[in-house]
Chain A
């Protein structure tokens, strides 16, 4: 009666252990090096020593999707590139999250206009996105804030102070 291909959920509940697992996942998000365009440079700058994303757990940028759990889509997704994006997302093991960095990944950005034949207007048309970080390109601080928002989504509470403009 039950569909053989469905994975039954909720057979075993871990309760407090689940929270601990989520905390561990939030603290060690390994991003995949998926730079498509300009935002990739700001992503590299975020990983460099001034902004240092490694402080927040994104220590190693894995080139292989099979070893990463966060896909930072930084840059314009093109119709030619779309199958590759979906394939990479499928290759990532669960649990996985997607951060759409930059206006192009959110909605097509500066390349959204009628008659556009090449750009996919927003990566959420292809894969589910967890956090959107707007900007063209977003500052490294904005990308870090996006990662912290994702951690808040994972653990349920924000563990880092919110930066208030001076």
Chain B
């Protein structure tokens, strides 16, 4: 029940169009999550605030480099520990200027996840207090998980 009302709230924030799915319930057995929502980068913070109010925990933040579509995707995984429900928030940014607002003010744990995504892809999380390399050496200026990275 709580998930349905949350989905309605998320639907108000979500992107709906031919390419985006909006806010939909998904099969946990097939996808590993109970709901997925695609948002515009500027509305990520709103969506995450809804999840924080509902008591979700941030589990992972994944960056993906879609070279063919010249976009980068950021996938946020959230878990509700009381029930084991999962909600996934997705957003896409242009590859030439990948900027997403930070959620580290809502979830301090996202601080390190975002630093890692920045390390690997160069995605800039606007408003992040400390976007220095986390896993790479301090003076690293390359982003290794980009698809056009050739060592």
Direct contact of A and B (CB under 8 A): yes
From residue 33 to 81 of chain A, which have CB atoms closer than 8 A to chain B?
A: 79-80
Interface residues on A, range: under 10
B81 beta carbon closer than 8 Å to chain A: no
Q: Are A79 and B151 in contact (CB under 8 A)?
A: no
Interface residue from B136, B137, B142, B150 paired with A115 (Cβ < 8 Å):
B150
A117 beta carbon closer than 8 Å to chain B: yes
A4 beta carbon closer than 8 Å to chain B: no
Q: Are A80 and B151 in contact (CB under 8 A)?
A: no
Interchain Cβ contacts within 8 Å, total number: 12
A3 beta carbon closer than 8 Å to chain B: no
A5 beta carbon closer than 8 Å to chain B: no
Residues of B within 8 A of A115 (CB): 150-151
Contact with A along B121-151 (1 / 0, CB 8 A): 0000000000000001100001010000011
Interface residues on B, range: under 10
Q: Per DSSP, are chain B's interface residues mostly helix, strand or loop, or mixed? A: loop
Assembly CA distance A48 to B144 (angstroms): 40
Interface residue from B137, B142, B150 paired with A80 (Cβ < 8 Å):
B137
Q: Are A116 and B137 in contact (CB under 8 A)?
A: no
Contact with A along B54-84 (1 / 0, CB 8 A): 0000000000000000000000000000000
Residues of B within 8 A of A116 (CB): 151
Residues of A within 8 A of B150 (CB): 115
Q: Are A117 and B151 in contact (CB under 8 A)?
A: yes
Q: Are A117 and B137 in contact (CB under 8 A)?
A: no
Assembly CA distance A116 to B142 (angstroms): 13
Assembly CA distance A114 to B144 (angstroms): 13
CB distance from A37 to the nearest CB of B (A): 15
The residue on A at minimum CB distance from B139 is A80
Assembly CA distance A55 to B151 (angstroms): 46
CB distance from A78 to the nearest CB of B (A): 9
Assembly CA distance A115 to B145 (angstroms): 11
Residues of A within 8 A of B144 (CB): 117-118
12 interchain pairs, CB-CB under 8 A: A79-B137, A80-B136, A80-B137, A114-B151, A115-B150, A115-B151, A116-B151, A117-B142, A117-B144, A117-B151, A118-B136, A118-B144
> Which A residues are closer than 8 A to B by beta carbons?
79-80, 114-118
5 shortest A-B CB distances, which residue pairs?
A80-B137, A115-B151, A117-B151, A117-B144, A79-B137
Given A79-B137, A115-B150, list of 10 further CB < 8 A pairs? Answer: A80-B136, A80-B137, A114-B151, A115-B151, A116-B151, A117-B142, A117-B144, A117-B151, A118-B136, A118-B144
